[in-house]
Structure 1
Amino acid sequence: MKQSQQSNKLRFDGQVFFIGIDVHKKSWTITIRLNGMQLKTFTMEPNAKQLQKFLKKNYQGGHYFSVYEAGFSGYWLHHQLTELGIKNIVVSPGDVPISNKEKSYKDDAIDSRKLARELENNSLKAIFVPTPKQSATRQISRLYALQSNENKKIRLRIKSFLNYLGVEIPFEVGSRWSNRLINWLEKLELKNEGDRYYLDQLIKNMKAKRKELLATLKLIRKNYADHQVIKRLRTIPGIGLITAFTYYAEIMDIRRFDNENKLASYVGLIPSLKSSGNRTRVRGLNHRQNKLLKFRIIESAWVAIKNDPALTSSYVSYIKRMPKQKAIIKIARKLLNRMRSVWINQKEYQIGRMI
């Protein structure tokens, strides 16, 4: 009797199911489509194994394709779904086609239906999903950037406080944040006990943040300074360890960008265009960008123009017809092209190349 029940159970061998997942911390809203039909929309607990169990129970023998939008939840769900045999992609929310009605009326069910529909229509472009190991490397890069930014903020608070008190740093002490400057701050005599206490707390905080930053830098040097890609990138004038490491951590696979324009667009070093009829208007830099990588490349461009004759010549030529800020963006773009070339060709950079 049991064998008879199993043989009579509906099967969907060879059928392709498209699944849109609207992801939230406490629940998922799921839409399932087959052959242009919306079969079911429902809410479930956020559990990949439970979803697989539901699909196999109700649509046994089918091929399952799923999609969700990149967001707070990262990529762990993608890896779990893939391991469970569900072919998943992750998409950028801004790249999902949306109707006027969906713009006006937005809820979880509508979002999951939209994802399932566009997945079936083959109109979605998957973003690059790093492996867990690659993701961990990227987190180190972003931690260093966060710690560096916090360090700068504390230094600015100290300088602002000194300005508030009318205290100037002596020339012989110097404005760079050396041990000499820190020792001077610690011995600085202030009239009010409250001011002294406030400055001491800022200094204490700065020392702690500085220690954290140096520990992360030590980790980067230990684990990545001898990486072949990073070593080659550092042969380019202006590219130091942190810029090379950030570039490697954020990109991971340089061949996912077919050409220089796609890489520049990802970084945010390409202008946005607005076309209407026969007119095309060039606007500012595209707002879609990798802010951290863009900052590092532009920062390195200022160094590169002082150390590479080819870039020095280009920069001098640019500033004759445009502001310095626009000129440095063009230099940054050239620098980015060099980095791409070095990575793809797996060769050290030759100074003076006109890329």
Structure 2
Amino acid sequence: MPSTKVSGNSFSGQTLYIGLDVHKKNWAVSIFSEYHELKTMSTDPNPESLAKFLFRNYPGADFRAAYEAGFSGFGSCRQLKELGIDCLVVHPADVPATHKEKIQKTDSIDSRKLARMLRNNEISSVHIPDQELETQRSLIRQRFNLSKDLTRQKARVRSLLLQYGIEIPERFSKSQYRSWSKPYMNWLRSVPQAPVQLQQVINNYLDTGLLLKKQLLEATRQIRTLSKTDRFGKNCELLISIPGISTLVAMNLLVQLGDIHRFESFPVLCNYVGIAPTMYSSGDKSVTGKLSNRGRKSIKIMLIEASWVAVRKDPALTLCLNELAKRMNKNKAIIKIAKKLLNRIRYVLIN
């Protein structure tokens, strides 16, 4: 095996591959040359101290680093790039593991694997958005989480009423108690059949729910303000012209997709969103399964909800859904409508 050539104390002309297993308290770091494993160590979770170590011990070398996407986001990657170290962020599901690696998993094994795969050019980076877009994504995701939390709070109140055999009066429609209308909430504040302690529990749920509702309205207002900025205004107006697409859906798409041109084809976009099915094919046998677990869950949910609206507004999509419903369940048919809607969105943004 060829040896690593070092000119004096310089690694000039060589590329070193750095695998990082990133944790809150420490990083496992593996350093590979073209032919050898040079070092595996544990270090403080600090890009600057890692860069100083590399430049001091391997002067003149070009460095390529990689770590799996996780709690630390893209901050470490940006810092390493600013310090002169090329860095990739890898989707954890794209890093294969042997059976031995699964039963003997350690940080050093993981960092070595990343360094080795990086050296062999076997991994690719996920898209790294600019910092401004990443903060805007946080706002979109915060609204999505607030909406889920509010829905859970409403479900807890209904579950509590069922537990104690308290029926919601017929004068309240399903839409009223789902949206927590003012008359319904006034009734909840003084449920006739509820003991004092139970009424206190219901009131606690209501207070938390009202706070979530207020935060949700504020996040929605901030997103609507963002939709009128120079970065998103034109594309947002274009997307709203598509049947079923509201301002919130348009902003969710624009902020989470980023530059639509980074998706080289429509199937790649479908995989990113999460509306591509799982597939198994071997010999003459070919099976198409459920939707893949990969993808942006919030985009997928909003896109399917928008599709239900679109089939009521667009005659072509209505006809398509009716034809699909003849041979499959409507909940499956709407997924195909969602793909058609996504294709329209892609076409509008590109053209």
Q: Same fold (TM over 0.5)?
A: yes
| Deviation for aligned residue 1:330 | 0.4
Deviation at 1:107, TM superposition (A): 0.7
Residue of structure 2 equivalent to 1:281 = 287
Q: For residues 30-179 of structure 1, what are the structure 2 equivalents within 5 Å? A: 30-175=29-174, 176=176, 177-179=180-182
CA contact (8 A) 1:238 1:304 kept: yes
Q: What is the aligned counterpart of 1:340 among 339, 342, 346?
A: 346
Question: Contact conserved, 1:173 with 1:184, CA < 8 A, in 2?
Answer: no
C-alpha distance in 2 between matches for 1:290 and 1:330: 17
Of 218-227 and 9-18, more deviation after overlay is shown by: 218-227
Tell me, yes or no, if the aligned pair for 2:31 and 2:37 is still in contact at 8 Å.
yes
Contact 2:20/2:114 (<8 A) preserved: yes
Shift of 1:171: 4.2
Instruction: Please say if 1:315 is aligned against 2:318.
Output: no
Greater mean deviation of Cα atoms: 223-232 or 243-252:
223-232
The reply to whether residue 194 of structure 1 matches residue 193 of structure 2 is no
C-alpha spacing 1:158/1:117, structure 2 compared with 1 (3 Å): same
The answer on whether the counterparts of 2:224 and 2:248 sit within 8 Å (CA) in structure 1 is no
Partner AA of 2:87 in structure 1: N
- Which of 250, 255, 261 matches 2:256? 250
SS in structure 2 opposite 1:32?
A: strand
What is the letter of the counterpart of residue 32 of structure 2? Answer: R
Tell me the alpha carbon deviations over residues 230-285 of structure 1, each in whole angstroms, 9 at most, x when there is no partner. 22111111111221111112111211111111111111111111122343222221
What secondary structure sits across from 1:196 in the alignment?
helix
- Give the Cα–Cα distance (whole angstroms) in 2 for the partners of residues 262 and 90 of structure 1: 18
Q: 1:29 is paired with a residue of what secondary structure?
A: strand
Give the equivalent residue in structure 2 for 1:3: none
Q: CA contact under 8 A between 1:225 and 1:231: conserved in structure 2?
A: no
Tell me if structure 1 keeps the 8 A contact 2:189–2:199: no
1:305 counterpart residue number: 311
**Number of matched pairs:** 338
Which residue is equivalent to 1:20?
A: 19
CA distance in 2: counterparts of 1:205 and 1:30, whole angstroms = 44
Which whole-Å CA distance do the structure 2 matches of 1:162 and 1:12 have between them?
71
Instruction: Give CA-to-partner distance per residue, 1:177-199, whole Å, 9 cap, x none.
Output: 22222223334434521122222
Matches of 1:144 and 1:191 in 2, distance apart? 33
Which is further off, 329-338 or 225-234?
225-234
Q: Structure 1: how far apart are the matches of 2:209 and 2:29?
A: 48
Which SS does the other structure have where 1:294 is aligned?
helix
Partner of residue 331 from structure 2, selected from 325, 328, 347:
325
Say which of 220, 225, 228 aligns to 1:222. Answer: 225
Partner secondary structure for residue 30 of structure 2: strand
Decide whether aligned partners of structure 1 residues 60 and 194 sit closer, same or farther in structure 2, where only a CA change above 3 A counts: same
Paired residue secondary structure (1:269): coil
Secondary structure at the residue paired with 2:80?
helix
- Once the two structures are TM-superposed, the CA of residue 101 in structure 1 deviates from its matched residue by 3.2
Q: What CA deviation, in whole Å up to 9, does each residue of 1:30-76 have, x standing for no partner? A: 11111221111111111111111111111111111110111111111
Give the TM-score of the pair, scaled to structure 1.
0.90
Residue 205 (str. 1) matches residue 200 (str. 2)? no
1:35 aligned partner, one-letter code: E
Unmatched runs of 5 consecutive residues or more in structure 2:
1-6
Letter aligned with residue 317 of structure 2: L
- Cα distance change of structure 1 residues 173 and 102 upon mapping to structure 2, 3 Å threshold: closer
Q: Secondary structure, in 3 states, of the residue corresponding to 1:134?
A: helix
Q: Is the partner of 2:32 in helix, strand or coil?
A: strand
CA contact (8 A) 2:66 2:87 kept: yes
- Rounded Cα–Cα distance in structure 1 between residues aligned with 2:110 and 2:160: 49
Residues of 2 paired with 1:132 and 1:51: CA distance?
Answer: 22
Report the equivalent of 1:348.
none
Q: Which amino acid aligns with 2:323?
A: S
Q: Which ranges of 4 or more aligned residues in structure 1 deviate by more than 4 Å?
A: none
SS at match of 2:97: coil
- For structure 1, list consecutive stretches of 5 or more residues without a partner in the other structure: 1-7, 346-355
Letter matched to residue 342 of structure 1: V
Give how far 1:173 is off: 4.2
The whole-number CA distance in structure 1 between the counterparts of 2:55 and 2:75 is 21
Identity score, percent: 39
Root-mean-square deviation (Å) = 1.7
* Letter of the structure 2 residue corresponding to residue 255 of structure 1: H
Flag the 1:19–1:168 CA change in 2: closer, same or farther, 3 A: same
